[in-house]
Amino acid sequence: LDAIRESRASGERYIVMAHARTSVVDREALFKEVRAGNPVVVFGDTSIARGLVDAQFDQPLRSIDSHGVEESESAYGLFIDRRGVQQVFQIGEKNMATAARLAYEWAAERLKEDEAGAQDVNTLAAGWTLVLQRSTFYDLNPHGKQNIFTLFYKLSNDGSTTYDWWNIEFRHESVPGKQAWGNDWRTADMWQKVWGRYNGLNYFVSDRDPTTTQGSTSVGVSVGTSAGYDGASVNASMSWSYTTSDVMINDQGDTSQARAQWYHNVNENQNVGKATYVVKPGATMRVPNGTTAPYNKWQECYQIQWMDPNFFVNNFYKHTVWWGGGTSCAF
């Protein structure tokens, strides 16, 4: 506490980490730290860290593996950078030492980036404002690591009094056991999904990319809206690309269900399956005008399956992560 008081007096920024019980943690103190530009990470009862700021991302993290083992959120971090962008960290790691290390590394990196004034390249896209960056890490030794970094952008000055538009940039990373720990577990399959009609919502996926692709070394992703479409008065899109060598992409989305969904079939016998691989699909979600924090309402899911060719049976391990309630997230 003395060190924090000295840092406050000198204007230094610092990382606040606490193991919480609702009966002993001062929410007002957490609120002041967040508003002062200091990363706050809460372990244990993470509900105490929710609702601290307007439009805060507050969906709890859930996961389940192929053995039916479920994990709930063990740590939640929040940081508001100098741009006003909300940055959230969530993890389901049971080992508290590992969870603390990952949380500290996340917070330290956010401070470093913020002090340097770094911006993600897509924050410069015309008309789109980055609102939320969410980071989630799972260490699933010996099978692999599932890392998820998702960016949420809102279209400004869209000219519509009926709808708002949000772009979602998925960055889904698999670090197979072969890469992480030197064993022979490889990445075999990866899935991503966002569902706008979940739980009776009236959201609509107005754009998504890529579509089904095979035999390409890379794919381009372009998502957004056009003037005259659903009442928008501007042309606004965002674009990026990612490599797909030895990967087959199946577009499993369904526009009638407001669902964007992809299956990346990774060739586990090639380098793409043995080393770290990141997929980056994207979607545009149309929501009713004035909707606050729609990312707290839709369902969003990620899944990776790893395989070890040295086993004759039980050589696959699958891990699913989701937000948005329910007992699971089916692909």
* Stronger pLDDT, 304 or 120, i.e. the higher one: 304
- pLDDT range class, residue 88, cuts 50, 70, 90: very high
Query: Residues with Cβ < 8 Å from 234, sequence gap 6 or more?
Result: 127, 155, 157, 158, 159, 225, 227
Distances (CA, A) of 111 to 15, 38, 87, 150, 176: 9, 8, 11, 18, 29
DSSP assigned state of 294: G
Query: Residues with Cβ < 8 Å from 29, sequence gap 6 or more?
Result: none
- pLDDT exceeding 70 applies to what percent of the chain? 90
Count other Cβ atoms within 10 Å, centred on residue 11: 7
What pLDDT score does 91 carry? Answer: 93
Its pTM surpasses 0.85: yes
- pLDDT exceeding 90 applies to what percent of the chain? 68
Q: Would the pLDDT of 308 be above 60?
A: yes
What pLDDT score does 3 carry? Answer: 45
Q: Would the pLDDT of 218 be above 90?
A: yes
Helices (H), 117-219: 177-180
What pLDDT score does 6 carry? Answer: 46
Mean pLDDT of the region 286-314: 91
Element (H, E) at 182: none
Q: Hey, which bits of 119-235 come out as E strands?
A: 128-140, 144-155, 163-176, 186-195, 204-209, 218-225
Q: Would the pLDDT of 113 be above 50?
A: yes
The Cα–Cα gap between 106 and 203 comes to 32
pLDDT tens-place string over residues 17-59: 988 765 567 888 899 999 999 999 999 889 889 999 999 999 9
Mean pLDDT of the region 268-276: 97
pLDDT tens-place string over residues 135-156: 999 999 999 999 999 999 999 8
